[in-house]
């Protein structure tokens, strides 16, 4: 996927004939075989492969579910139970798909926070990173609409609460909501269009993923030191090194995934969603899926409806500006002693926001949500720009190879390298 | 004010009461279930007793509309014989049709039929039950739960505690008492210790000795004919109706886990062997990307 010409020459005559007409084998070879990978990548760099696997798994299980699912407000709930009870291994496919959504988000959050920690969003990877943010937003839309499809109580009321948010937009809000609903309340037309879009969006995600991978292959991967590959000694070819490591990581992730599917399949969902949707009865406690909880807490922290919606949107959109908000020349937090502390505080704040999102919006919880929301934005708008000026980073190693060897010889925890030269390169 | 203070205190202690709770809804006791844990299976005799309780007590008001008679003889359930199921189904009247003359008619049930609901529609069910239709029980064991709170929601993952619904149902059936002093129960309501808000529309559903259980050689019931035992048995049965493939799921889960762990082990050593080549010097195949790096 990178533009540089490949040295790949097919072995067979047929291969050479085909290659001169469509050089797809050369593209794969240069992208996934010969592609140079920093030799010091940790397992935090395997989430790209894990996420690709999860996208395919969700699409495959989803296609099978769609063969039995009926997107009709009177039949949807029944059709899901039909899948669970009567379809051969229907329970397995449904639990894989439902829990797969959660696994997808666990992996994407680890992927995103790895990127935050090692400064992968910084030049020259801004476009790669922004494509990732777009994928995340598409994932959120897909997951939300997917949760509506079983047409249980939480499906219905979650859809009602979230679609109603758009009514906060001045002038056009009401109209937008009516288009989302296909009527004047959440009903059968809503379910139909959500099903249609839930089937469409994953393929849009796949398209943006292709761009994301393409954009990755231009500058190459970041690594734990944050310094670029300088010579062949800093890198290993993608195959077999990254390939085998990624496969191993995917299988370990599958063990984690299987644990939920086979032993705790309903833990990550809501009991209320096993009650058929009933517009006349509101559940005691409307809560979104766990992966939306931090954003839900930000939404509810603002007493004003429009303000809350804007804050929730801004909480994700602000990510797009990170490459320019972060003024530090050093990518990896491993060499940023001050930022390292702020990073972990930020992680803590996000987790607390998630917990607060699951609590009722009353009393003490609201105040805590407001404090965390302020800190969340301060992290991007104050901490990131200011630290770049006031922080004294640790000396960077001269090369990836040196950092690897330094660890092997000294056994020091940080590859900071005693013989590193002062920071001069990004 | 007192309630709010209690709530905050509970939240600080990490007990975190749910929003709707009146503050003092007790936590259902955690029972031992044959189907809990990674190798859990249903106790056939218990499911059969639970079915008897459903049929003789619950079924007068509650439907079981996602369950077919044939399910009762499938592996992993109560495992009645096919003959028993055919005979059972034939005792029910099923509306069918229209026939050639265009009329609806009633016929005896077949194994493939689903349990007919006790009321023709939800409005009829509500009208006959003081304005609130008794819910269908097929999914009840998965559709109810109770707040776990920190840190139990984390330890539950490792303990594989997923019998929240079952524990709640047993507690609910045992939870009918006289209301505490000063607690007024409105007309048509009933006091229940475990029901959120304590006022439940369903009257005490079952009493000791109401359902006759199979006898042993001495002529004594094999298990006590008490409300608590009825509650446990019917809850086990409802756990099966909510999750009819639970046994198959756990069995397949063990095989999948075993396979994945062995595969991961083999891949780990393969990975180690491949990466051992990158001792100090690198293969040299790799070339740095040709595009700009700052």
- The number of domains in chain A is 1
B192-245: per-residue pLDDT in tens? Answer: 999 999 999 999 999 999 999 999 998 899 999 999 999 999 999 999 999 999
Confidence label for A284 from pLDDT (cuts 50, 70 and 90): confident
Mark yes or no for CB contact B282/A232 under 8 Å.
Answer: yes
Mark yes or no for CB contact B278/A236 under 8 Å.
Answer: yes
pLDDT at B279: 62
- Name the minimum distance, in Å, from the CA of B204 to any CA of chain A: 23
pLDDT at A404: 85
The Cα A113–Cα A349 span in angstroms is 13
A28-43: per-residue pLDDT in tens? Answer: 999 999 999 999 999 9
Mutate to test the interface with A, among B13, B14, B282 (most CBs of A within 10 A): B282
Asked if the model's pLDDT at residue A413 lies above 80, the reply is no
Rg of chain B over CA atoms, in angstroms? 27
The Cα A196–Cα A178 span in angstroms is 17
Confidence label for B280 from pLDDT (cuts 50, 70 and 90): very low
Is A399 within the bounds of a domain?
no
pLDDT at A6: 61
Which residue pairs from A125-129 have beta carbons closer than 8 angstroms and sit at least 24 positions apart in sequence? Answer: A125/A215, A125/A216, A125/A219, A125/A222, A125/A323, A126/A323, A127/A215, A128/A212, A128/A215, A128/A216, A128/A218, A128/A219, A129/A322, A129/A323
Helix (H) or strand (E) holding A36: strand A36-38
The Cα B115–Cα B132 span in angstroms is 21
Which has the closest alpha carbon to B241: B100, B77, B91, B119? Answer: B77
Asked if the model's pLDDT at residue B278 lies above 90, the reply is no
pLDDT at A121: 98
Is A265 within the bounds of a domain?
yes
The Cα B15–Cα B25 span in angstroms is 12
Is A367 within the bounds of a domain?
no
Mark yes or no for CB contact B249/A235 under 8 Å.
Answer: no
- Name the minimum distance, in Å, from the CA of B224 to any CA of chain A: 31
Is A126 within the bounds of a domain?
yes
A93-146: per-residue pLDDT in tens? Answer: 999 999 999 999 999 999 999 999 999 999 999 999 999 999 999 999 999 999
**A242-251, A358-367, B57-66: least confident range:** A358-367
Asked if the model's pLDDT at residue B142 lies above 80, the reply is yes
Mark yes or no for CB contact B20/A244 under 8 Å.
Answer: no
Strand partners, B199: B191
pLDDT at A5: 52
Which has the closest alpha carbon to A194: A208, A207, A181, A176? Answer: A181
pLDDT at A259: 98
Is A425 within the bounds of a domain?
no
H-helix segments, B57-92: 82-90
> In the predicted model, what is the mean pLDDT of residues B286-292?
43
Mean pLDDT across chain B: 88
* Phi, psi torsion values for A407, nearest 5 degrees: -65, -40
Helix (H) or strand (E) holding A25: helix A24-32
Kindly give, in sequence order, each residue whose CB lies less than 8 Å from that of residue A78, ignoring residues fewer than 6 positions away: A70, B66
Asked if the model's pLDDT at residue B281 lies above 70, the reply is no
Is A309 within the bounds of a domain?
no
pLDDT higher for B272 or B279?
B272
Q: Buried (b) or exposed (e) across B250-259, using 16+ Cβ within 10 A?
A: bbbbeebbee
DSSP code for A254: H
DSSP code for B9: H
The Cα B165–Cα A159 span in angstroms is 25
Show the domain range for A57.
30-282
> Domains, chain B, ranges and CATH?
2-67+114-242 (1.10.760.10), 68-113 (no CATH)
- Name the minimum distance, in Å, from the CA of A240 to any CA of chain B: 7
pLDDT at B24: 73
Mean pLDDT across chain A: 93
- ipTM summary value: 0.91
Q: Cα separations (Å) of A172 from A163, A176, A314?
A: 14, 6, 19
Is A213 within the bounds of a domain?
yes
> In the predicted model, what is the mean pLDDT of residues A345-372?
95
Q: Mapping DSSP to helix (H, G, I), strand (E, B) and coil, where does residue A236 land? A: strand
Asked if the model's pLDDT at residue A423 lies above 70, the reply is no
Name the residue among A123, A251, A360 with its Cβ closest to that of B267.
Answer: A251
Q: Among residues of chain A, what percentage have pLDDT more than 70?
A: 94
CATH number at residue A231: 1.20.810.10
* Kind of pairing between the strands at A235-237 and B93-96: unpaired
Mark yes or no for CB contact A363/B162 under 8 Å.
Answer: no
**A268-272, A335-339, B183-187: least confident range:** B183-187
H-helix segments, A236-336: 243-263, 293-301, 305-320, 322-325
What is the distance of C-alpha A137 from the center of its chain? 8
Asked if the model's pLDDT at residue A290 lies above 70, the reply is yes
Is A306 within the bounds of a domain?
no
A139-169: per-residue pLDDT in tens? Answer: 999 999 999 999 999 999 999 999 999 999 9
The Cα B199–Cα A357 span in angstroms is 28
**A4-13, A336-345, B118-127, B283-292: least confident range:** B283-292
Asked if the model's pLDDT at residue A354 lies above 80, the reply is yes
Straight-line distance from the first to the last Cα atom of chain A, in angstroms, rounded to the nearest whole number = 25
Mark yes or no for CB contact A364/B145 under 8 Å.
Answer: no
Chain A residues closer than 8 Å to B163 by CB: none
Q: Buried (b) or exposed (e) across A320-350, using 16+ Cβ within 10 A?
A: bebbebbebbbbbbbbbeebeebbeebeebb
């Amino acid at each position: 996927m990178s533009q540089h010409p490949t040295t790949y020459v097919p072995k067979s005559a047929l291969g050479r004939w085909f290659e001169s007409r469509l050089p797809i084998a050369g593209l794969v070879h240069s992208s996934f075989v010969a592609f140079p990978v920093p030799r010091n990548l940790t397992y935090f760099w395997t989430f790209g492969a894990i996420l690709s696997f999860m996208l395919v798994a969700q699409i495959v299980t989803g296609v099978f579910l769609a063969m039995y699912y009926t997107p009709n407000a009177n039949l949807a709930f029944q059709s899901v139970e039909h899948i669970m009870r009567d379809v051969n291994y229907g329970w397995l496919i449904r639990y894989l798909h439902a829990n797969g959504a959660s696994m997808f988000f666990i992996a994407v959050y680890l992927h995103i926070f790895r990127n935050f920690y090692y400064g992968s969003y910084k030049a020259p990877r801004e476009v790669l990173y922004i494509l990732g943010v777009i994928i995340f937003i598409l994932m959120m839309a897909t997951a939300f609409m997917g949760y509506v499809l079983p047409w249980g109580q939480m499906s219905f009321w979650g859809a009602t609460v979230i679609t109603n948010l758009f009514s906060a937009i001045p002038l056009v809000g009401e109209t937008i909501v009516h288009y989302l609903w296909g009527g004047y309340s959440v009903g059968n037309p809503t379910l139909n269009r959500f099903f249609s879009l839930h089937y469409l969006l994953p393929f849009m995600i796949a398209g943006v993923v292709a761009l994301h991978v393409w954009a990755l292959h231009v500058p190459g991967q970041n690594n734990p030191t944050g310094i670029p590959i300088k010579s062949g000694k800093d890198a290993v070819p993608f195959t077999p090194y990254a390939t085998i490591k990624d496969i191993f990581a995917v299988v370990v992730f599958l063990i984690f995934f299987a644990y939920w599917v086979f032993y705790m399949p309903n833990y990550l969902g809501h009991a209320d969603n096993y009650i058929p949707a009933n517009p006349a009865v509101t559940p005691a406690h409307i809560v979104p899926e766990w992966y939306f909880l931090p954003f839900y807490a930000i939404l509810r922290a603002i007493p004003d409806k429009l303000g809350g919606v804007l804050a929730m949107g801004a909480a994700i959109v602000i990510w797009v500006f990170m490459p320019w908000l972060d003024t530090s020349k050093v990518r990896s937090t491993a060499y940023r002693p001050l930022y390292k502390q702020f990073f972990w505080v930020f992680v803590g704040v996000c987790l607390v926001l998630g917990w607060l999102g699951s609590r009722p919006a009353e009393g003490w919880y609201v105040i805590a949500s407001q404090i965390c929301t302020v800190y969340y934005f301060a992290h991007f708008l104050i901490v990131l720009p200011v630290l770049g000026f006031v922080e004294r980073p640790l000396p960077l190693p001269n090369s990836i190879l040196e950092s690897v060897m330094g660890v092997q010889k000294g056994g020091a925890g940080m590859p900071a390298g005693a013989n590193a030269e002062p920071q001069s390169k990004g | 004010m007192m309630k709010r203070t209690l709530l905050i205190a509970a939240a600080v202690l990490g007990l975190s009461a749910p929003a709707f709770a009146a503050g003092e809804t007790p936590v259902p006791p955690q029972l031992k279930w044959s189907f809990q844990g990674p190798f859990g299976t249903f106790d056939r005799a218990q499911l059969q007793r639970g079915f008897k309780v459903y049929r003789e007590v619950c079924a007068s008001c509650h439907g079981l509309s996602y369950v077919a008679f044939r399910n009762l003889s499938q592996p992993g359930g109560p495992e009645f014989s096919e003959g028993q199921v055919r005979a059972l189904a034939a005792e029910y009247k099923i509306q069918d049709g229209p026939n050639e003359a265009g009329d609806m008619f009633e016929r005896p049930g077949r194994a493939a039929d689903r349990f007919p609901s006790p009321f023709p529609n939800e409005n009829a069910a509500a009208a006959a039950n003081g304005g609130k239709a008794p819910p269908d029980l097929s999914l009840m064991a998965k559709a109810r739960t109770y707040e776990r709170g920190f840190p139990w929601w984390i330890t539950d993952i490792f303990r594989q505690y997923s019998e929240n619904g079952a524990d709640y149902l047993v507690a609910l059936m045992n939870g009918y008492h006289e209301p505490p002093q000063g607690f007024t129960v409105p007309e048509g309501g009933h006091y229940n210790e475990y029901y959120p808000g304590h006022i439940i529309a369903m009257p005490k559903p079952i009493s000791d000795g109401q359902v006759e259980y199979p006898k042993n050689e001495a002529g004594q019931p094999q298990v006590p004919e008490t409300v608590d035992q009825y509650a446990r048995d019917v809850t086990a049965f409802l756990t099966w109706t909510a999750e009819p493939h639970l046994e198959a799921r756990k069995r397949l889960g063990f095989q999948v886990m075993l396979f994945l762990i062995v595969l991961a082990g083999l891949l780990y050593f393969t990975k180690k062997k491949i990466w051992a080549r990158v001792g100090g010097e690198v293969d040299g195949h790799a070339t740095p990307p040709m595009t700009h790096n700052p």
